Amino acid sequence: MNATSGTPRPRVLLTDPILPEGLRILEEFVDTEFLPTGLTGTASDNALRERIAQYDGLIVRRQLPEDIFERETKLRAVVRHGVGVDFIPVERATAQGIPVANTPDTNSNAVAEYVFSAMLAMTRRLSEFDTAVRSGKWDHRTTASRNSRELFGATLGVIGYGAIGRRTGQIAREGFGMKVLANTLTPSSLPTQVDAVDLATLFARSDYIVVACPLTTSTRGLVNAALLSNASRQPILINVSRGPVLRQDDVIAALADGTLGGAVLDVYDQHPLPDDSPVRSAPNVLLTPHIAGITQDAMRAMGIAAALTMLALLQGERPVSIVNPEFSVVKKETLQ
């Protein structure tokens, strides 16, 4: 993007800060502004509605209100700082001829490494033994041989085999000697060492199950009581997708009756997790605050990718990360 004297610079709104490396790339060519700090919920939605008409681009790190694109706007680009575009009402953006893009593959390794830290924390019961040592119960170590397991030789089931699923499967096979099963819409794309299976088989044969599919109409409530009833090996369930992919009450019931051997949840039906959420008191569950993909490395890569993608879109380019390529047809029809 060439900065021409006398030509107004495009204005880009960021819902939240990004790391300096990405911001510097943006600010060489555009004027950037942020939402006021500390806004959540209704206050955040209202601030976005009030400001959106002033900007040429929007970089998204939080949930947008469903009606954000229904007002008159000069927006020419929306970029998700991350992968999941369920934060963005994509169909409404498309109807307005606005391209929406994301930053795929920038945090897949971070999420995959989180998966294995979660698996190891659960199977080696690290929190439990930490508590025992702190309370002076050194002899609790005698339970380790009965209840701790190794990952080597175990079976990992992965629901959704995109960038995160692929990296998770690679680490499982090459790093831990695990057998990998996958449920995916594109089984022909799987590595030869990964077996494509249906969901019932995946739950029946897996010792660990990772949910890594996007949240869509078809995946909402995917992991429910009927599917969980197939679990025969007391698997540990790890969700790095979106909270609503799981039926929360069904997962809690499966933890309580031993159908699941444990769960690690990084996402929930509602963020932040409410104080009275029944998940907090569920047995054998490890909870984290949606941090699976957040590392310095991943955030740097996402910030740079978001900045470069935004600049490309503002110049009229069509990067491969556009998630609604049909927007151009709508835009062309509108111009005609």
Whether 224 maps to a domain, the answer reads yes
Closest to 63 (Cα-Cα) out of 43, 100, 88, 83: 88
Q: Which of 328, 332, 335, 314 is nearest to 32 (CA)?
A: 314
As a whole number of angstroms, the distance between CA 272 and CA 314 comes to 33
- Model confidence pLDDT, tens digit, residues 84-122: 899 999 999 999 999 999 999 999 999 999 999 999 999
State the residue range of the domain holding 184: 108-287
Residue 5 lies in a domain: no
pLDDT in the model for residue 1: 56
The confidence score (pLDDT) of residue 72 equals 82
pTM over 0.75: yes
Examine the pLDDT at 2 and tell me if it is beyond 70.
Answer: no
Residues 182, 202: one domain? yes
> How many structural domains does the chain have?
2
Question: Which amino acid, one-letter code, is at 326?
Answer: E
- Inside any domain, residue 99: yes
Q: How confident is the model at residue 333 (pLDDT cuts 50, 70, 90)?
A: low
Percent above pLDDT 70 for the chain: 96
Confidence of residue 336 (pLDDT cuts 50, 70, 90): very low
One domain for residues 69 and 93: yes
Taking only the tens place, the pLDDT of each residue in 164-195 is 999 999 999 999 999 999 999 999 999 999 99
In angstroms, the Cα distances linking 329 to 98, 99, 147, 318 are: 11, 11, 58, 13
For residue 71, the model assigns a pLDDT of: 83
Residue ranges of alpha helices (H) inside the chain are 20-27, 41-51, 90-95, 108-123, 126-134, 144-147, 163-176, 199-205, 225-228, 248-256, 296-314, 327-335
Q: How confident is the model at residue 136 (pLDDT cuts 50, 70, 90)?
A: very high
Residues 300 and 279 in one domain: no
pLDDT band at 69 (very low <50, low <70, confident <90, very high): very high
